[in-house]
Amino acid sequence: MKKLAKKVAIVTGSSRGIGKEIAMKLAQEGARVVINYNRSPEKAEEVVNQIQQQGGEATAIQADISQVDQIQQLVEKAVEQYGQLDILVSNAGVEHFGKLEEIAPQDFERVFSVNVAGQLFVTQAAARHLSSGGHIVLTSSVSAKIPVFYHTLYAASKAAVSAMVLNLAPELGERGITINAIAPGGTATDMAEENAKFYTHPALRDLPPNTVLKTTASLQRLAQPKEIAAVVAFLVSDDASYITGSTLAADGGMF
């Protein structure tokens, strides 16, 4: 039997990139997957179709993770459709780069409303339906522990996620639910290529994006989204039943 057979999972921000690969991986392991998207219904349906073509089961549900009422509706619709909820993977997020003097209140609100508040309230909504053996994985980042030029808001939001996971672990642990975070490093996505120049010294920013990102990892290469998805699939399986409150770096040994 597949490791996640008979399980139901919500993956936020799963119409593309790492989120898509996570959804695909969980479906391959037997889970019925809710594909969450905000503004890209066509891409979400493509993911659903790919899962179905591989013999899996999935549905797409729209929700803006910065809006608490929409988060609640997302979870309620998922439970209404499948009758249960076993796994939450909170992947939706936004990135921000800006010098200190350029950061505006609306930048703070945009980043923290999704990366922190969104992850907190989707956890709250999902936890109401999870029972013993349930698993939650939030998304942090290596940026929370490695200094990056002009990344202050984003890094602070991801550090908050790691603190959130650590402090929710005993509360959810009383109910037999695990909660962890994954902290990806440089990953081969369109977002990573767009922002690669910020991950190195300003004097080196004319180098090709892949070259910049590779030089920051001990393994001398970018992660593939499937490699991040494999770590998440482990954390939401019974193989990780005694891991909670942790932020697991999948960064190729970034420095």
- Phi/psi for 128 (5° steps) reads -65, -25
List active site positions: 140-141, 154, 158
Tell me, yes or no, if the pTM score tops 0.85.
Answer: yes
> CA-based angle 48:50:52, to the nearest 5?
70
- Phi/psi for 246 (5° steps) reads -105, 150
Enumerate long-range contacts of 45-50, CB under 8 Å, 24 or more apart: 46/15, 47/14, 47/15, 47/20, 47/23, 50/24
- All residues at 6 or more sequence positions from 70 whose CB lies less than 8 Å from its CB, including other chains: 62, 63, 64
Q: Is the pLDDT of residue 254 over 90?
A: no
> How does the average pLDDT of the chain come out, rounded?
92
Nearest to 185 by CA among 245, 231, 249, 247: 249
> CA-based angle 173:63:15, to the nearest 5?
90
Is residue 173 a contact partner of residue 131, using CB atoms and an 8 Å limit? no
Percent of the chain residues topping a pLDDT of 70? 89
Please compute the mean of the pLDDT values over residues 69-96 and round it to a whole number: 98
212: amino acid identity, one letter = V
Q: What are the pLDDT digits (tens) for 113-155?
A: 999 999 999 999 999 999 999 999 999 999 899 888 889 999 9
Instruction: Count how many Cα atoms sit within 13 Å of the Cα of residue 202 in the half-sphere of its side chain.
Output: 2
Cβ atoms within 10 Å of 176's Cβ, excluding its own = 12
Residue 203's pLDDT is: 64
Please compute the mean of the pLDDT values over residues 18-41 and round it to a whole number: 98
